[in-house]
Amino acid sequence: MTRAYRQALGIAAVYVAFSIFWIVFSDRLLSILVQDPAEFARLQTWKGLVFVSATALLIFALIRRVLAARALVEQDLHQINRIINRSPVVTIAWDNAPGWPVRFVNATVSQWGYSPEQLRSGQIHFADLIHPDDMQRVTQEVAHHLAQGPDDYTQEYRIRTAAGPWAWVNDRTWLERDEAGQVRGIYGVLQDISTAREAVARLEESENRLRTLIETIPDLVWMKDPEGKYLVCNPRFEQFFGAPQARIVGSTDYDFVSPELADFFREHDRQAMAAGQPCINEEWLTFAADGRRGLFETIKTPVRDGQGRLLGVLGVAREVTQAREAQEELRLLNINLEYRVAERTAELEALNRELESFSYSVSHDLKAPLRGIDGYSQLLQEDYGQQLGEDGRLFLENIRKGVAQMHQLIEDLLAYSRMERRPLEATAVDLPRLVHEVVQAETESLTRAGLQVEIQVPPLEARVDRDGLALVLRNLLENAIKFSPGAQPPLIHIEARQEQGQIQLAVRDHGIGFDMKYHDRIFRIFQRLHRAEDFPGTGIGLALVHKAMQRMGGRVWAESTPGAGATFHLELPS
């Protein structure tokens, strides 16, 4: 029985009760008060008017009350509608019938692209909107609740939006039952939770990735709260304690390792918390799971929440045993290498000393008898020359020439061996000055040979061993003088230039030159291209030049055509 029906019936009942009461009592009361029939008839007409007025008033009062109450309800309803229609929720009522025909749905259903009319008219069945994958579950759940309750329940499923994509909805439902317990209506509040579900899905995905990472990395990873209780750890860490995460979380180091080691861990946790930044330390750890021992590099980082509150210390320990072993191996190898180098150096030094004492002996002991031969042959020549005759004097002359050459040979050999051993010192050398000095020192032999030197050396400064370069220039100049008899023009050129920061020097003569096929030979020790009577020499000069340039880090080479002079090029170290 509807409310409207009850109200109308109430009004009619009040009217009937009042009318009966009036009919029964009004005439009786009037007959007691009036006996005159004419008067009675007149009053009877008035009584009828009073009845009509009274019932009209009564009906007016009753209907007005009902209508006022209804206006109030309608106003509330309007308010509720306004609120709901501006909210993200969709209110819906279904009949408990196949396909769940929609009895009511509010305007917010348009968020999925449907109008309330489409659903209420049965043009669209709600069941058709549910995702096929969710349909069976939803149906079973509804059937279960219809049969056994509870009558309030929540479901989550997908519905198709008019545009095509699926929307996740949260459906809070309650069931209306009649006296017999039969479900008469199904009412629901639907809310679109697609965005929230997506966020959750993304979060889950990211969590999964993170979990996979933490669970599969070979490092130990854990986090402890500020009091040292474990909050989380990874499987590798479980191996260290030899316990599952479930047992580790909530425990402290003191529950698993020796008090000394636990103190050590705790101390480093405190350091990291106090420092407010990651702290690194190294520690030897023994795995409870398999007893293996290794050296670990541990980074402890204090972790804070958004408000800056300390949440705990995050720890990551990486095994560095192998790296350390390799390092140690390398160190030992290095030591060994250093030792071997030292050994070889000592051997070389010993050899060098031997060589030194050898050349010392050469310079001292080989010269002494030579001095005797020279001295006595001269005395013999001077004191007894007349008694010797011409042949005798020639013999003596040759003996003395031999001595002089032997002497030269010894001196050159000594110079060569000195160049091999002498420590070099690169200093800033004023090139034009050095060249002039070298030429100056050879003035006598230049004059004797009738030669002049043309110097074209710009003001350059070279960083070389001064004595070494002087020796090289002197030898090249002496060489040029020696091989320039009758040269036309009677000139020796010394030139220098700088190219890309590198200084090049050249000593050029117009002498006899040499065949380029002998180029490499002339720089080798004791190698000579001429007979001693033509050009005297020991075969050491150019070898000495080569050795000196090599030791100074420079280069020497020559260019020549027989009969057209020779040019010796020097390249100084840059």
Partner 1 sequence: MNQATPPILLVEDNPVDLDLTLRAFKRKHLSNPILIARDGEEALDFLPRWEADEPLPAVILLDLKLPKVDGLEVLRQLKEHPRFRRIPVVVLTSSAEDRDMDSAYALGVNSYIVKPVSFERFMEVAEHIELYWCVLNRKPE
Residue ranges that bind partner 1, judged by CB under 8 A? 356, 359-360, 363-365, 367-372, 374-376, 378-379, 403-404, 407, 414, 418, 422
Residue 396 in tokens: 């003596």
H-helix or E-strand containing 294?
A: strand 293-304
Half-sphere exposure in the Cβ direction for 236 (13 Å, CA): 19
Q: Between residues 82 and 421, which has the closer beta carbon with respect to partner 1?
A: 421
Q: How far is the CB of 409 from partner 1 (least distance, A)?
A: 11
Residue 436 CB coordination number (10 Å): 15
Q: Between residues 93 and 414, which has the closer beta carbon with respect to partner 1?
A: 414
100: left (phi > 0), else alpha (psi -120 to 50), else beta? left
Q: Between residues 147 and 368, which has the closer beta carbon with respect to partner 1?
A: 368
Q: Between residues 321 and 363, which has the closer beta carbon with respect to partner 1?
A: 363
Best CA proximity match to 230, nearest among 215, 247, 218: 247
Q: How far is the CB of 357 from partner 1 (least distance, A)?
A: 10
Q: Between residues 353 and 524, which has the closer beta carbon with respect to partner 1?
A: 353
Q: Between residues 96 and 381, which has the closer beta carbon with respect to partner 1?
A: 381
Q: How far is the CB of 371 from partner 1 (least distance, A)?
A: 5
Find where tokens 């809070």 sit: 172
Q: How far is the CB of 392 from partner 1 (least distance, A)?
A: 18
Q: Between residues 298 and 359, which has the closer beta carbon with respect to partner 1?
A: 359
Q: Between residues 403 and 522, which has the closer beta carbon with respect to partner 1?
A: 403
Q: Which residues pair with 508 in a beta bridge?
A: 493, 567
Q: How far is the CB of 479 from partner 1 (least distance, A)?
A: 23
If you ran DSSP here, which 8-state letter would residue 257 be given? S
Q: Between residues 7 and 381, which has the closer beta carbon with respect to partner 1?
A: 381
Q: How far is the CB of 537 from partner 1 (least distance, A)?
A: 18
Q: How far is the CB of 421 from partner 1 (least distance, A)?
A: 10
Q: Between residues 349 and 356, which has the closer beta carbon with respect to partner 1?
A: 356
Whole-Å CA distances, 523 to 148, 435, 547: 115, 22, 9
Contacts 24+ apart (CB under 8 A), 321-324: 321/294, 321/295, 324/295
Residue 431 exposed, middle or buried by CB count within 10 Å (0-12, 13-18, 19+) = buried
Q: How far is the CB of 335 from partner 1 (least distance, A)?
A: 34
Q: Residue type at 134? A: D
312: left (phi > 0), else alpha (psi -120 to 50), else beta? left
Q: How far is the CB of 372 from partner 1 (least distance, A)?
A: 4
Q: How far is the CB of 358 from partner 1 (least distance, A)?
A: 12
What Rg value do the Cα atoms of the chain yield, rounded? 62
Which phi and psi angles does 532 have, rounded to 5°? Answer: -60, -35
Q: Between residues 104 and 360, which has the closer beta carbon with respect to partner 1?
A: 360
For the stretch 136-149, what's the b/e string if a residue is b when 16 or more beta carbons lie within 10 angstroms of its beta carbon? Answer: eebeebbeebeeee
CA angle 318, 322, 326 (to 5 degrees): 135
Q: How far is the CB of 448 from partner 1 (least distance, A)?
A: 19
Q: Between residues 13 and 348, which has the closer beta carbon with respect to partner 1?
A: 348
Could you tell me which residues come within 8 angstroms of residue 171 by beta carbon, excluding any fewer than 6 positions away?
Answer: 154, 155, 156, 157, 188, 189, 190
Residue 368 in tokens: 């002494």
Q: How far is the CB of 376 from partner 1 (least distance, A)?
A: 8
Best CA proximity match to 190, nearest among 162, 171, 212: 171
Residue 369 exposed, middle or buried by CB count within 10 Å (0-12, 13-18, 19+) = exposed
64: Cα separation from own chain's centroid: 83
Q: Contact, 184 vs 178, CB < 8 A?
A: yes
